[in-house]
Every structure is written in C-alpha cells, then in structure tokens.
Structure 1
Amino acid sequence: MRTARIERNTAETKIEVEVNLDGTGKYDVSTGIGFLDHMVEQFSRHSLIDVTMKIDGDLHVDQHHTTEDSALALGQALAQAMGDKAGIGRYGTAYSPMDETLARVALDISGRPYLVWKAGFSQEKLGEWDTELIEHWFHSVSQTAGITLHIELIYGTNNHHICEAIYKGFARAMRTGVELDQRKGGAIPSTKGQLGG
C-alpha cells in the first residue's frame, strides 16, 4: 500500500494529512476555508487518491498560513507515499474543460520542484478564499512533492470554473503520474536510476 500520514504542527497551524495513492477518491477534508475544502475534495475525487486533511489554523490572522501549510503537508504526504517512485508513470498531462473554461496541466514527478503559472482571476475572493493564494498553493505543493508543474488557463471567464478546472486538471495529471506502469517492472523512470537532484 502506497500510503503516508503527515503531522505538521507549528504556532500557526496544526495539520494531519493522510493519503492513499491506490485509493478510490475518498476524502475527508476540513481546513476551515470552504472553497479550499472543495478544491482538495475535487483533487481527491478526480485523482483517485484518498485524502484526509484536518487543519486548525490561525484564520483570525488571515488565510495565508492555512493555505500554504495545507499544500506543504499534502505535498509531503504524496512524496512519502511514492517512496523512491519505482514503477510510476512519472508524467501526466490533462486538458480540463468546465463550461466556458479550458485549463491545461502538465507535470513531471521529477524530484525537481518548479511551478510555471499562466493563469489568473478577475475577482479577489472565491467564497471567502483569497484568489491570490491559489497560485501559492500550487507552488507549495510542487515544492514538497517534488513536482515540475505547468498550469495554464487557455481561456475562461468564470472564476469558479477557472479554479475548479485547474484543480481537476491537476488531479487527472497526478493520477497518470503516480499510477504504476506494469511494463516498467518496478524500475525507477529515469536513466539516472533515481529521481531528484
């Protein structure tokens, strides 16, 4: 079983995250930020990665610490569950349409974190969530998961649709990237014999 559990406790947030890469998309998410909950749930459902995420954060200050730390902990859990990444597909690409919106997500579970973000929002909040934090969420998850991640909004006008299309595209790309490829026979998908560095 490719599973992991992370506890991350600081003066700003207390977090428990569990993942199962070989799950069915079951989730139990409570961050204190409704729209963030919705997006992590979308990630779980469409990646088929089971996710439990419980956060008690300093939302009386603002949403930054909770948003950032949720992504850092999720990325840590994903990296831990993948272990040495033997046999994984490694790469994933998804086009994600949602009504008038189309997003493209491409990733490489390379061990070399990098984010290219070509998207944006025309309003400051989705629900109560500050939209400026969405790019930062993806930056943080890419850092601790060790993912080279390219996200592009091809077109779209509805901010809810834009955000959801991006998260669903990320989910579908991760599903492809973490799935085990039987043809690889458990080999690490790199001519170097390791991923990262």
Structure 2
Amino acid sequence: MIVDLDLDREELRETSVSTGVPFLDHMVETLAYYAGWGLRAAVEEVKRVDDHHVAEDLALALGEAVARAVASGGYRVARFGYAVVPMDEALVLVAVDYSGRPGAWVELPLRREAIGGLATENIPHFLQSLAAAAGMTLHVVTLRGGNDHHVAEAAFKALGMALRQALSPSSGVVSTKGAILPPRS
C-alpha cells in the first residue's frame, strides 16, 4: 500500500488513486480534490478476497496519513468543518471535529448492493475507519436522495469540503481547555 498525502498541495499536486475498485478510486479522488489535497494512493493486496479489505485498509492508511501530516506540519488547525452538498436530487450534510476524539455517525440509506465494484455497505465502513484512524469526530447525514451514486458522491464531496475547513491553519488552539488531544494510536 502506498499513500502519499500533501494537505495543501504545495509539494504533491496530483491526485491519483488505484485500488482495483473503480467507484472507490472515484470517491477517494473526489474527497482529495474537494479537501484540496495532493494524494497518490495505491492498494495491491497479496490475496484479494473482496472490496472490504481494500476499502478498510485504504481508509485506515489515509486517516493515519492525515494525522501524521497535521502533526508534522507543526500548525494548529481550525478544528471544525462542515458542508452541505447537493448533487441532483441528493443532499448530504457532513460535519467534522478534528479533536483527537474519534467517532463516526453515518446515515447513508443506500439501497443498491454495489456501485462500480464497491459494496455499498463498505461506504459507511470506509468513513468510519477514516475517522478512527485520523482521530476525528465525523457526522454524515443524508437529508435527501434517491440515486445511491449521487448520495455517496455528495457525501465524499461534503467530507472533502469539511476537512478543508477543519484542517486549515489556525492562529491558536480552538478549545476552551487550551488543548486538543492528539489522535489516538
């Protein structure tokens, strides 16, 4: 597995994801684009069982890369971010608290079994794994939607926008306690 991440696209300008699962590639590239990240990710499994491990492993590696990039960047983050994204009939809200307290509450009522080689049950699992590894609280709520592709894509776009906001530099610690927990390892 390879994950190269640049949170502000200063060094790594390209975005490419190669997992062998076309819809997963599309969603993670979408996330990176709207977050303003440079990202190169490639997943090659020695023994491919199904898309579950590919999605989970990529989410965990990406979450860890986010946590490392924030920690090594030496800057404080704005902490909170949110976005509401429409995509045709779909409308999805995402809110992020980059606080070191991992948790994910994901409401994506997807009806299809799979989209582009990705089982729809692995979409919430990807988001939950990403939140756990990055050390963030994540809420994803579908406000409206009938087309599963649109709902999922609106969720990843909104997540990217919310992360761009939450991880933007801040002049001070955004906490009344004066500290934000580092992500748990």
TM-score, normalised with respect to structure 2: 0.91
- Residues 26, 45 of structure 1: 8 Å contact kept: no
- Residues 31, 156 of structure 2: 8 Å contact kept: yes
What amino acid does structure 2 have at the position aligned with 1:103?
Answer: V
Partner secondary structure for residue 169 of structure 1:
helix
Ranges in structure 1 where 5+ consecutive residues have no aligned partner: 1-14
Paired residues, number: 179
- Residues 104, 151 of structure 1: 8 Å contact kept: yes
Matched residue, 1:110: 99
Task: Spell out, residue by residue over 1:73-93, the C-alpha distance to the aligned partner (whole angstroms, 9 max, x if none).
Answer: 000000000017743111001
Matched residue, 1:190: 175
* Alignment CA distance shift 1:134-1:149 (3 Å): same
> Residues of 1 paired with 2:42 and 2:112: CA distance?
27
> Residues of 1 paired with 2:175 and 2:75: CA distance?
10
Matches within 5 A, 1:6-17: 15-17=1-3
> Residues of 1 paired with 2:173 and 2:70: CA distance?
11
What amino acid does structure 1 have at the position aligned with 2:132?
Answer: Q
1:59 offset after TM fit, Å?
Answer: 6.5
> Residues of 1 paired with 2:152 and 2:45: CA distance?
22
Identity of matched residues, %: 38
Ranges in structure 2 where 5+ consecutive residues have no aligned partner: none
Q: 2:9 aligns with which of 23, 32, 35?
A: 23
What amino acid does structure 2 have at the position aligned with 1:30?
Answer: S
RMSD after superposition: 1.7
- Residues 26, 44 of structure 1: 8 Å contact kept: no
> Residues of 2 paired with 1:54 and 1:119: CA distance?
26
1:102 offset after TM fit, Å?
Answer: 0.2
1:58 offset after TM fit, Å?
Answer: 5.2
Task: Spell out, residue by residue over 1:42-73, the C-alpha distance to the aligned partner (whole angstroms, 9 max, x if none).
Answer: 01111101111011025641111111000000
1:161 aligns with 2:132: no
Task: Spell out, residue by residue over 1:111-155, the C-alpha distance to the aligned partner (whole angstroms, 9 max, x if none).
Answer: 000111122211100011100000100010000100100000000
Matched residue, 1:57: 45
- Residues 58, 65 of structure 1: 8 Å contact kept: no
Matched residue, 1:3: none
Q: 1:130 aligns with which of 101, 119, 122?
A: 119
Matched residue, 2:36: 48
TM-score, normalised with respect to structure 1: 0.86
Matched residue, 2:26: 38
> Residues of 1 paired with 2:167 and 2:136: CA distance?
11
- Residues 108, 152 of structure 2: 8 Å contact kept: no
Task: Spell out, residue by residue over 1:146-165, the C-alpha distance to the aligned partner (whole angstroms, 9 max, x if none).
Answer: 01000000000001100000
Moved over 6 A (4+): none
1:77 aligns with 2:65: yes
